[in-house]
């Protein structure tokens, strides 16, 4: 799904949930109206309200009318009680009292809207998990003492990066290191936080991306856009395990370069996880890709190594 479609889908769900709630209100209103006593009182009420307008214009004392209205309302309450209802049951209901189901408060998305969006984003993210770990779940005791300090620097830097995503000047983060140092866990924390903040985040293994790029390469023109659009429009793209995919001629390297370059042009953010060292990245993907994803000037390059973690932006 493209980014706009995701927001449209969230708005649709917001409206559907609101309308669903009104069905119950509508059936309560019908039930009340079908009661003759209640309806008669309602008619009387309308008359009085009309009179009230006249009295106000003519500057007459409206107190008797207001007292009578209060009386009628009390009678209606009693009638409603008999049929198991209250006045509250007849009022428009909201799933979210904060935004009255508008999804927006003061030009900002409401928490309720973000929650709907998160559910869609998680489904769309490509990570088939419902419970993603959070940064606060990191268990540093899993790392040896010498390793803990550097691990904390890495997690803090990345957490901070995601929290301030829109202000980051480096649009690519490359996390390099052997398996077993927690790259997968870190990746899931990144997805969780980014989605929580309402960013359209896509997770893909490099193998999955490669397969889709091969599809893109061979697809009919009218199908191409659907295949590539999410990769080019999502706020955050995570490519996991770069280097494990087979290299297809005219596809793997060319489209990886295309996706990364287009994302940079659009000011979008990309995370890449890889077991490859920077030198191996040059060997496999060549200088062009290396210069995009592994140079310290434009990339936050993080080297997670079991014995020696170095951080591209360590002071």
- Binding region for Zn ion (CB under 5 A): 96, 98-99, 110, 112
- What is the smallest separation between the CB atom of 110 and Zn ion, expressed in angstroms? 3
* CB of 117 or CB of 293, closer to Zn ion: 117
- What is the smallest separation between the CB atom of 25 and Zn ion, expressed in angstroms? 18
Q: Could you tell me the two tokens for 37?
A: 């006593």
**Using CA atoms, how far apart are residues 278 and 290, in angstroms rounded to an integer?**
8
Integer-rounded Cα radius of gyration of the chain = 29
* CB of 94 or CB of 257, closer to Zn ion: 94
Sign of CA dihedral 152, 158, 160, 163: negative
- What is the smallest separation between the CB atom of 194 and Zn ion, expressed in angstroms? 21
* CB of 116 or CB of 237, closer to Zn ion: 116
* CB of 108 or CB of 308, closer to Zn ion: 108
**Using CA atoms, how far apart are residues 143 and 181, in angstroms rounded to an integer?**
9
* CB of 98 or CB of 129, closer to Zn ion: 98
- What is the smallest separation between the CB atom of 96 and Zn ion, expressed in angstroms? 3
- What is the smallest separation between the CB atom of 147 and Zn ion, expressed in angstroms? 43
* CB of 105 or CB of 282, closer to Zn ion: 105
* CB of 16 or CB of 67, closer to Zn ion: 16
Match 């309302």 to its residue by tokens.
73
- What is the smallest separation between the CB atom of 18 and Zn ion, expressed in angstroms? 10
Q: How many CA atoms lie within 13 A of 305 on its CB side?
A: 11
Q: Are 233 and 200 in contact (CB under 8 A)?
A: yes
- What is the smallest separation between the CB atom of 268 and Zn ion, expressed in angstroms? 27
């Amino acid at each position: 799904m493209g980014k706009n479609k995701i927001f449209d889908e969230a708005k649709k769900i917001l409206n559907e949930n609101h309308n669903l709630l009104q069905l119950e209100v509508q059936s309560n209103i019908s039930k009340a109206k079908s009661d003759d006593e209640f309806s008669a009182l309602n008619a009387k009420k309308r008359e009085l309200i009309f009179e009230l307008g006249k009295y106000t214009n003519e500057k007459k004392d409206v107190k008797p009318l207001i007292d009578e209205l209060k009386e009628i309302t009390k009678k209606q309450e009693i009638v409603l009680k008999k049929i198991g209802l209250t006045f509250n049951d007849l009022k428009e209901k909201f799933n979210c009292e904060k935004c009255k189901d508008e999804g927006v408060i003061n030009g900002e998305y409401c928490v309720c809207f973000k929650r709907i969006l998160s559910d869609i984003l998680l489904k769309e993210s490509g990570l088939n998990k419902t419970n993603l770990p959070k940064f606060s779940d990191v268990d540093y005791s899993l790392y040896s003492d010498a390793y803990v300090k550097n691990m904390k620097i890495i997690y803090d830097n990345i957490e901070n990066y995601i929290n301030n995503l829109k202000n980051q000047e480096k649009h690519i983060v490359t996390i390099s290191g052997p398996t077993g140092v927690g790259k997968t866990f870190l990746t899931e924390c990144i997805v969780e936080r980014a989605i929580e903040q309402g960013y359209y985040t896509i997770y893909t293994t490099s193998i999955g991306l490669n397969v889709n790029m091969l599809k893109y390469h061979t697809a009919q023109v009218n199908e191409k856009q659907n295949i590539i659009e999410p990769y080019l429009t999502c706020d955050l793209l995570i490519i996991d395990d770069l280097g494990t995919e087979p290299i297809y001629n005219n596809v793997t390297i060319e489209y990886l370069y295309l996706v990364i370059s287009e994302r940079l042009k659009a000011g979008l953010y990309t995370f890449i996880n890889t077991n490859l060292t920077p030198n191996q990245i040059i060997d496999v993907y060549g200088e062009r890709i290396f210069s995009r994803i592994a140079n310290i000037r434009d990339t936050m390059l993080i080297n997670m190594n079991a014995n020696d973690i170095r951080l591209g932006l360590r002071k």
